[in-house]
Every structure is written in structure tokens, then in C-alpha cells.
Amino acid sequence: MIGGTTRRTVLALAVMLAVLSTGSCAFATGDSDGDGLLDSWELQFFGDLGQETDGDFDGDGFTNLEEFEAGTDPTDSMSKPIPPLNGNLH
């Protein structure tokens, strides 16, 4: 048996190797899990990389990808993209 700390270190190394072996493209874009959401953005709002682009964490009707592209807060249902102008607003 190996200890918890050693096991975590081995796991971290394995993850690093996996990331490196999947190509530098993901590194260049800062999207190591390749889901279209920047790692820094996912970490900022969710603290991990577990969110999906089509998820709606805050239930405001806009997907995480839409909130990412609009620069709104995906964890705040009061912060959402401004809908595009359409004929109803004339």
C-alpha cells in the first residue's frame, strides 16, 4: 500500500503526463479538458473543471458556454447575457 500523499503525487504526475500526451494545443488555449470553456474561467467560477458547456449551473436559462462568451456570471442567475435585439422591441 502507498500512502495518501504519495498516491496524490502519483495521480498528479499521471494527470500531467496525460495532459502533455494529448498535445500542446489544449495548453495553448488554456482549455485542458477541451470542453470549450477556459480552465481559468471554470476555476474562477466553479473551482474545478467539471462543468459542461451546455450546463446551466445557475438555472437562468443560459448555458455555461453562452455565459462564458457573454462574460456573465454562470453562478448568478441575475447575471445573464443580454438577448439579441429582435422585432418585438421596435
- Residue 71 vs 87, nearer CB to Ca ion: 71
Residue 41 found at the interface with Ca ion (CB under 5 A) = no
62 touches Ca ion by CB under 5 A:
yes
Nearer of residues 3 and 59 to Ca ion, judged by Cβ = 59
Q: How far apart are CA 65 and CA 57, in angstroms?
A: 11
Residue 45 near Ca ion by CB under 5 A = no
The answer for residues whose C-beta is within 8 angstroms of residue 14's C-beta and 6 or more apart is none
**How far is residue 53's CA from residue 39's CA, in Å, rounded to a whole number?**
12
Stretch that binds Ca ion, among 2-10, 16-24, 30-38, 57-65 (CB under 5 A): 57-65
The CB density around residue 58, as the number of other CB atoms within 10 Å, is 19
Is position 56 an interface residue for Ca ion (rule: CB under 5 A)? yes
Cα separation, 50 vs 39, in Å, equals 10
Stretch that binds Ca ion, among 13-21, 32-40, 44-52, 55-63 (CB under 5 A): 55-63
